[in-house]
Amino acid sequence: MTTAVGAGEETVVDAGDGWRRLSPRMLAVHPVMELRRLIFPLVAVLIGVRRGDGGNGGWWALGIGGIGIALGFLRYFTTSFRITPTHVQVRRGLFRRRTLTVPRDRIRTVDVTSPLLHRIFGLARVTVGTGQTDRKNNGVMLDGLSAASAENLHRELLHRPTATPIPGVDSATRSQPADAASETVLMALHPSWVRYGPFTLSGLVAVGVLFGIGSRLVNESHVDLAKIGFVHDSINYLRDRPLPVAILLVAAVVVVFTAIASTVGYILSFWNFRLSRHSSGTLHVRRGLLTTRSTTIEERRLRGVELSEPLLLRAVRGARVLAIATGLRVGRGADRGGSVLLPPAPRAVAVDLAGTVIGDADPLTAALTRHGPRADLRRFTRAGTVSTILILGVLAFVLLTGAPWWAFWTALSLLPLGVFLASDRAANLGHALTDEWLVSRYGSLVRRRYVLHTDAVIGWNMTNSLFQRRVGLTTLVATTAGGRQQYAIPDVPDAEAIRVARTAVPGLLEQFLAD
Amino acid sequence: MTADVVRLRPPMHRVSPRARWYWTAKAAVLWIVLLVPQVIWWFADDGGDLPHVVVGVAWLVLAAVHLAVMPQWRYRVHRWEATDTAVYTQTGWLSRQRRIAPISRVQTVDSERGPIEQLFRLANVTVTTASAAGPIKIDGLAAKDADQLVADLTTRVGHTIGDAT
């Protein structure tokens, strides 16, 4: 196999304008990759041939394989790219033609990878990333350049003519000279905060899981629970009580177990919690009893903070603080805790700390502008609609299946609950705009106050549903590169939405105002 | 704030009139797909014809109303505008969305022509920012307008500096 292929030989310039094609050696790789993608239908068809009476199966397999190979060839012939002094452009697709244009300023990363098959042919895959947090959009991928030209491209893209350093090139991952930097501890866990543990409900999941595993074990091992003395006694005891008392007793047991599990969970995840600020411009969070987790957030990437108060925690005047930072997505699952700046702690402490972190206490304490009676009314109509639908559902269930009527009477309690929730939601709804910070607060089961730097707003979305249009309300959404990617101010009066958007990002909306 | 209400005007340009046919075709495909389970059900079920007729009529009425109303309504709502400093769109029908992104925060400009769009000589343009919630999509542009828009936007984006987060 010939090696040492120059860049000039490999990148075939095509039809002027600087459009280039991928390496022709991809003509060998693409079909194999397409075949690999079609492996399941192929295997299925071949098994069908063995099983069945032969005949058509082979032709089918041949056909599918042929299509795969043709698709592979097509991919080569329909993909082209060019690099101009200012842009990288990629064209691809036959039926779905796409042209993707990325300004070279926005390029943050250039990855050169070489999977096995590529390596055999001396090829590499170049992925150009813009640092977008959206996972679906994998940026520009040039699948299949010769290793040499991939390396050239890498150099070409990252060393642009203007010698300015690229702002925001992944320095988050660069190691910091930790010893040289001085460190200020902003907050450390106070043991008395463990009292907020039972109110976090994190233990509810644990209790659920334990119950699930338990019932599974009982089922699998065919143990008759009623024969175990303790269980037998408690069931008999409950059976002798009136139904409401029995329900209350069971509920009390669940509550106690949840409280214990939540407290244990709190200690496990937040013991030794410490938040410190390094003079090199980073925030450092360390926490955990058995597994120590530590997160470093560059303050340059910090776009704001979120004060989160779940209902129970709010009832005991507690709150948590989360960071809004680019590259740190407020995630689900494993990376969920990534942005924690303060575990459940006294509200006053949380507000204080949030203010310290963003260097301005005002947005955390500023009085919020209410959204007016029409916005409040919408909370009530929504709660009313939802509870009515649920109650009617239960009523239908009772009438159709002959379930006991107390189910319906219990369901009626959804109405006062809904009213309570709605009035709380209405009371919590509000927004504010201080010098540099956009503040929005809403929610009841989890009340959140978002504080976002106005510079971090990279676009506005305004939604008016049919109902909102009738009462002159808008849901104003600020999009941003960090945290939840979007922060909403729900049901704000139209004029106020415009005022907020205009003031927060000056010069953007002026050109679109009606005379 | 002054007494007279400050309001946002709608964006300047309508999309191509052919977009109405594009939306109709797209919705029609969806309704036809919805027909498939009904047909299977009709063949599989031995009972009376009445339930099938009821569902079939409901399908017909809903499809007809949707296909007659939605594209026209959408066409009245959908508008776009790109100035030197911002992209501004208005989309939706029952619920209306207005999106504004400053050019200085735009990261990629993406134009796409799906099979149905090629049929009506249309294209869409998607402008993305660093926020996953920020993409602005302009649907149903005449193909040549889309090319022009992409060219304009990329030149303008190239003039701004920074990483746009």
Q: pLDDT tens across B1-13, in order?
A: 444 578 889 999 9
Residue among A482, A454, A505, A488 nearest A132 (CA): A482
Residues of chain B positioned with their CB less than 8 A from the CB of A168: 163, 165
Strand partners of residue A473: A493
- pLDDT tens across the length of chain A (515 residues): 333 333 333 344 444 578 888 888 888 888 888 777 777 777 777 676 666 555 566 777 778 788 888 888 888 888 888 888 888 888 888 777 788 888 777 776 677 777 778 888 888 888 777 665 444 455 678 887 888 888 888 777 776 544 333 344 333 333 334 444 578 888 888 989 989 888 887 777 777 777 788 777 777 777 666 667 777 777 778 777 777 788 888 888 888 888 888 888 888 888 888 898 888 788 888 888 877 777 777 788 888 999 999 898 999 999 999 888 876 555 443 345 457 889 899 999 999 999 999 888 889 998 999 998 999 999 999 999 999 999 999 999 888 888 788 888 888 888 999 999 999 999 999 999 998 899 999 998 889 999 999 988 989 999 999 999 999 999 999 998 878 888 999 999 999 999 999 999 888 888 888 87
Q: Which of B113, B114, B150 sits opposite A101 (nearest CB)?
A: B150
pLDDT class for B161, splitting at 50, 70, 90?
Answer: low
How many Å lie between the alpha carbon of A401 and the closest alpha carbon of chain B? 23
Q: How many CB pairs under 8 A join A and B?
A: 179
In the chain, the amino acid numbered A348 is A
- Residue B97 confidence (pLDDT): 93
The least confident of A167-176, B94-103, B145-154 is A167-176
Percent residues over pLDDT 90 in chain B: 44
Residues of chain A positioned with their CB less than 8 A from the CB of B102: 458-459, 505, 508
Residue among A490, A459, A484 nearest A303 (CA): A484
Q: Mark out the alpha helices in A79-185 (DSSP H runs).
A: 116-120, 147-158
pLDDT digits (tens, 9 = 90+) for B114-127: 888 888 999 999 99
- Residue A491 confidence (pLDDT): 92
Residues of chain A positioned with their CB less than 8 A from the CB of B89: none
For B104, name the nearest residue in chain A, comparing CA atoms only. A458
- Residue A225 confidence (pLDDT): 65
ipTM surpassing 0.90:
no
Strands (E), A93-172: 97-103, 109-113, 123-129, 140-146
Q: Which of A463, A480, A514 sits opposite B97 (nearest CB)?
A: A463
Would you give the distance in Å from CA A55 to the centre of its chain?
A: 51
Q: Which of A131, A460, A461 sits opposite B165 (nearest CB)?
A: A131
| CATH architecture under which domain B80-158 falls | Roll (2.30)
- Residue A5 confidence (pLDDT): 33
H/E stretch holding A293 reads: strand A293-298
Residue among A491, A455, A465 nearest A476 (CA): A491
A83: which DSSP letter? E
- Residue A258 confidence (pLDDT): 85
In the chain, the amino acid numbered A217 is L
- Residue A207 confidence (pLDDT): 77
- Residue A179 confidence (pLDDT): 46
Q: Which of A100, A105, A514 sits opposite B9 (nearest CB)?
A: A514
Compute φ and ψ for A359, nearest 5 degrees: 75, 20
- Residue B162 confidence (pLDDT): 60
Residues whose CB is less than 8 angstroms from the CB of residue A468 and which lie 6 or more positions away in sequence, other chains included:
A378, A474, A475, A491
How many Å lie between the alpha carbon of B59 and the closest alpha carbon of chain A? 24
R_g of chain B, CA atoms, integer Å: 21
Whole-prediction pTM: 0.75
How many Å lie between the alpha carbon of A24 and the closest alpha carbon of chain B? 25
How many Å lie between the alpha carbon of B94 and the closest alpha carbon of chain A? 6
- State whether A95 and B114 contact (CB < 8 Å): yes
- State whether B94 and A466 contact (CB < 8 Å): yes
- State whether A101 and B134 contact (CB < 8 Å): no
Query: Whole-number mean pLDDT of chain B?
Result: 87
pLDDT digits (tens, 9 = 90+) for B11-63: 999 999 999 999 999 999 999 998 888 888 888 877 777 888 888 899 999 99
Residues whose CB is less than 8 angstroms from the CB of residue A511 and which lie 6 or more positions away in sequence, other chains included:
B83, B85, B86
3-state secondary structure of B163: coil
CA dist A501 → A460, A478, A505 (Å) = 7, 9, 6
Which of A78, A84, A94, A99 to mutate: most B Cβ within 10 Å? A99
Tokens 């769109």 appear where? B89
Would you give the distance in Å from CA A142 to the centre of its chain?
A: 27
Q: Mark out the alpha helices in chain B (DSSP H runs).
A: 19-44, 50-77, 115-119, 143-159
- Residue A3 confidence (pLDDT): 32
How many Å lie between the alpha carbon of B18 and the closest alpha carbon of chain A? 18
Phi-psi region of B27 (alpha: psi -120 to 50; beta: other; left: phi over 0): alpha
H/E stretch holding A28 reads: helix A26-37
DSSP output for A223-277: --GGGSHHHHHHHHHHHHS-HHHHHHHHHHHHHHHHHHHHHHHHHHHHTT-EEEE
- State whether B134 and A505 contact (CB < 8 Å): no
- State whether B131 and A486 contact (CB < 8 Å): yes
Instruction: Tell me how many degrees the CA angle A294-A295-A300 measures, rounded to the nearest 5.
Output: 155
